[in-house]
Amino acid sequence: MRKVAIFLAFAVFSAGVISCGQVSSQKTYEGAAVGGAVGAAAGAIIDKNNRWRGAVIGGALGAVLGGTITEIAQRAAKEAAMANKPVEYRSEDGRERVYAEPVATRGNCKIVKTNYYQNGKLVKTEEREVCP
């Protein structure tokens, strides 16, 4: 019962953040969808006693985490392009880090390289075009 209460509180908080206009692009929703799918699959595998419960909890946590990481990366890339200098975001515990750096210019747009780190290891690199 306590897990259900925590889940509901978390869901209400997440819905509040999303409804307050904190999402900057469609990619945030896509990141949340991918995170939710992966989290649901992992939760169903991990919770052998009640696979549905595991899928729901894993899906909710995965969606929030996936959407949050995508949103942070989007904002880091935009800030790096606007300031024309590297931008870095770290989680409070220091385990996750997003580093965005402008690497080229194409017309009025900047090409920003974004690196994702977990536990000090590079897990993903992507380049995106950021236009004013």
Asked whether the beta carbons of 88 and 96 are under 8 A apart, the reply is: no
Mean pLDDT by 10 residues, the chain (132 residues): 52 50 70 85 89 90 85 89 92 88 92 92 91 84
Domain count, the chain: 1
3-class SS letters over the chain: CHHHHHHHHHHHHHHHHHHCCCCCCHHHHHHHHHHHHHHHHHHHHHCCCCHHHHHHHHHHHHHHHHHHHHHHHHHHHHHHHHHCCCEEEECCCCCEEEEEEEEEEECCEEEEEEEEEECCEEEEEEEEEECC
In this predicted structure, what is the pLDDT of residue 127? Answer: 92
In this predicted structure, what is the pLDDT of residue 89? Answer: 92
Neighbours of 65 (CB within 10 A): 17
Q: Is the pTM of this model over 0.75?
A: no
Question: Which residues span the domain enclosing 62?
Answer: 2-130
Q: Which residues, in sequence order, are bridge partners of residue 130?
A: 110
